[in-house]
Structure 1
Amino acid sequence: MSMINEKDFKELANYKNEICVSIFIPTQRAGKEVLEGKNKKHLHSKWVQIRKELKEQNVQENVINNIAKPIENLLENRDFWRHQSDGLAIFASEDYFQNYTLPVNFDDYHYISEEFYVKPLVHAMTGDGKFNILAIQLEDVKLFEASKYSIAPVEIEDLTPSRLEERVGFDYKEKALQFRTQGEGGEKTQFHGHGGSERDEKTEIKQFFRAVDQGLKEYLNREKLPLVVYCQDYMFPIYKDANTYNHLVDAVIPGNPNDSDLMGIHQKAIEVMEPFLNDTRDEKIEKYKELSSTENTTSAISDIIAAVHQGKVDTLFIENRAEVWGDYNEENMKVEFAENNENGSTSLLNLAAKKTIEMGGKVYLVEHEFMPQKKSKMNALLRF
């Protein structure tokens, strides 16, 4: 299972070859469709269609076979199809292959050109809405950096104790701690030690959590991202009491983190974090509207493409599921539009998206009804 990061995105954005194939298909995580192999069948039918198009474009058979080999290997990989998310992205050329399983609801789409089509991936590259997930148990501690469309583990082995016994200085046995829930609603938990132990287990857990909190303090304060904790319900009040980080989310992801794989952890985290994830995008849209009568905004695609290449775009809004074809001459900063992608035309929206990210700007894929200026498929908020 592969999630995309900024390095991967830039590698894809900069890759060039005579034949580059980009494939996007929606996938199902579980259920009847997975058992019946719907995801695999979808990719198979998509590849049959693409192979036919490549032949119609007079691409040499050996080139097609070289592109096909890793895709066909993927089709035969049973384990791969057991671990899917909401979307699958594949990028294949004669000497390059990469696939990404992502929590993004891709439209069924493919693109054949001299470059890869990365526009659908910008959801995962938008830095706004990032947060950290602390998955913590008495026997395990893990940290993740995530956004609405991505998740990646953070190496913290040298920063925190990995289990309670490392911190409290004795051989911790899980059986030494019992929890009894009072009442049917499970509202109150009591702690009981075995064998007449005088240890205050709650204090020991707090001591462990305080060590984790202090170990992560410097790392977390670099970006000051929201921190959401994934742990069993009874632990969260103790962690809150031990916590000194100012950006702890006052809501827990309940349960045992070890019961979820990476995609499951991400899905549960999004359910908690959803209300907070679009704040910055919405602020940028409102700013565009406020400045719409000034020179700090533009919806003219020709002007936007030139501004992107000059590093003038702060925020780019692209209409989701839209497309604009043409060519851009960087020497004279001129755009020529085309009706479709035939005769060597390229996706101007794809070009603008990858160049904006390369130049340090933000890109948002926005549904038509939420575009600041709906008459254009691209709007740009320029740097002051």
Structure 2
Amino acid sequence: MLYVDIPTRNEFTLLADKRADACVSIYLKTTPVTQNAQASRIQMGNLIKEAQAQLEETAFDKRRLGALLDGLNDLLDDDKFWRFQANSLAVFATPDSIRTYRLANDLVSMAQVADRYHLKPLFRAITFPHSAFILALSENAVRLLEMNADLPAVELKVPGLPKDVASSVGRAPNNERVFSGRIRGMEGHNVRLQQYVREVDAALRPILAGRETSLVLAATGRLADVFKQICSYSNLLPETIAESPDHLTEAELTARTRPVLDNAYVQQITDIKALFEKRAGERRTTTDISDAARAATFGAIQTLLVNIDSVVAGFVDDETGAVSFADKDDAKAYGVIDEITARAFSSGAVVLGVRKEDIPGGHDLAAILRYPH
């Protein structure tokens, strides 16, 4: 089983705001296969030593360093923790605290040390979490499932979810006159489908409230159209699994959902690239790190694409956004693009962590600005 902890936007904000005398960020490739976890633990130990060496080079306080290493090594020695993993692990530690996130994404292993966390790779989990809710909807049954990465979806218990159209509206749709006496035949059928869908939507609201996970609909015909019209969840994807879900297993629904998620991601990147080209003619784009840093500092970035695998060491002035690049990536410097990412995010920008090939021109970042520069 894949154990996944997808950080919420609020959790990301708290991590981005954290400042300490030593903030260690570790990203590690892991495996959900418990018997193969030993290799990940060995790599984790190596990354801890790498972070330790960086801090020792700066003559970091030995007592504080000891507290930091105690927390990391306690995690390393926790057999139960390592039995339940996903495809990557993110660890954020100071001498006073430690946080972990198990991620479905495949991230590059690294250890970063600074006075703040290195969070850019974590945006991959927010940008493309490999997770989705699946609503399998027909007149005969309704199920809500949740899928993560490569594993089959699992059905969720949803209080108040109707079993079918008949139980929802009191009788199966047919050609009888409805209570008001004003609707017959197919129009009456449509009214009952709307009643059914409204009841389904109402039951889903407490489950989906505050979530940003995509919802994929598996339904056919008029029922699919009615649900799209009535659904109150803003993250319903436009592409539908246009098959009756009644005889589809959880594994089959998962297999049909993955390409829907892939298509949605590709379309999102395609749309941003097209907008980037349009805004370039209006002097509302930049791929320059220094320009992007100033724009992020003053809240001028509307949309930002960042390469999750690159690290450009340096400093960004808190007041002006001026960048000073560092010759060495050590415990004093931090990731400049990472800092740009955090500032853009805090000002309400749409931030996507992507691979380099998804960024216009193959740069380390591409920003669409709110106004010309």
User: 1: distance between equivalents of 2:53 and 2:331?
Assistant: 18
Per mean C-alpha deviation after superposition, the further-off stretch among 354-363 and 271-280 is: 271-280
Please report the TM-score for the alignment, with normalisation by the length of structure 1: 0.69
The answer to which structure, 1 or 2, has the higher relative contact order (CA under 8 A, 6+ apart) is 2
Within a 5 Å distance, the mapping from 1:128-139 to structure 2 comes to: 132-134=133-135
CA shift in 2, pair 1:348/1:336, >3 Å: same
Is 2:112–2:331's contact at 8 Å kept on the other side of the alignment? no
User: 2: distance between equivalents of 1:213 and 1:80?
Assistant: 37
Aligned to 1:185: none
Within a 5 Å distance, the mapping from 1:105-124 to structure 2 comes to: 105-124=106-125
Say which of 339, 342, 345 aligns to 2:327.
Answer: 339
CA shift in 2, pair 1:245/1:23, >3 Å: same
Aligned to 1:233: none
**Gap runs ≥5 in structure 1:** 169-205, 231-235
Aligned to 2:351: 363
Q: What is the deviation of 1:26?
A: 1.1
Aligned to 1:309: 297
The residue type equivalent to 1:10 in the other structure is T
Question: After superposition, what is the alpha-carbon deviation per residue over 1:327-365, rounded to whole angstroms, capped at 9, x for unaligned?
Answer: 222334422222223483321101011111111112233
**Gap runs ≥5 in structure 2:** 169-192, 230-237
User: 1: distance between equivalents of 2:212 and 2:101?
Assistant: 28
Per mean C-alpha deviation after superposition, the further-off stretch among 267-276 and 340-349 is: 267-276
The residue type equivalent to 1:312 in the other structure is A
Is 1:129–1:277's contact at 8 Å kept on the other side of the alignment? no
Runs of 4+ residues over 4 Å off in structure 1: 127-131, 135-148, 153-156, 206-212, 216-226, 236-243, 251-257, 265-269
User: 1: distance between equivalents of 2:240 and 2:258?
Assistant: 13
User: 1: distance between equivalents of 2:267 and 2:80?
Assistant: 37
User: 2: distance between equivalents of 1:295 and 1:100?
Assistant: 39
CA shift in 2, pair 1:20/1:249, >3 Å: same
Q: What is the deviation of 1:308?
A: 0.8
Is 1:299–1:379's contact at 8 Å kept on the other side of the alignment? yes
Aligned to 1:161: 161
Q: What is the deviation of 1:105?
A: 1.0
CA shift in 2, pair 1:42/1:210, >3 Å: same
Aligned to 1:245: 228
Please report the TM-score for the alignment, with normalisation by the length of structure 2: 0.71
User: 1: distance between equivalents of 2:255 and 2:83?
Assistant: 17
Secondary structure class of the residue paired with 1:344: coil
Aligned to 1:171: none
Aligned to 2:84: 83
Is 1:135–1:142's contact at 8 Å kept on the other side of the alignment? yes
Secondary structure class of the residue paired with 1:287: helix
Question: After superposition, what is the alpha-carbon deviation per residue over 1:244-263, rounded to whole angstroms, capped at 9, x for unaligned?
Answer: 33457225788655x99xxx
Secondary structure class of the residue paired with 1:22: strand
Secondary structure class of the residue paired with 2:241: strand
Q: What is the deviation of 1:120?
A: 0.5
Question: After superposition, what is the alpha-carbon deviation per residue over 1:132-177, rounded to whole angstroms, capped at 9, x for unaligned?
Answer: 43379999955659899xx9x99954xx23878xx58xxxxxxxxx
Q: What is the deviation of 1:53?
A: 3.5
Structure ranking higher in strand proportion: 1
Question: After superposition, what is the alpha-carbon deviation per residue over 1:238-290, rounded to whole angstroms, capped at 9, x for unaligned?
Answer: 99579633457225788655x99xxxx98984354222223122211122123
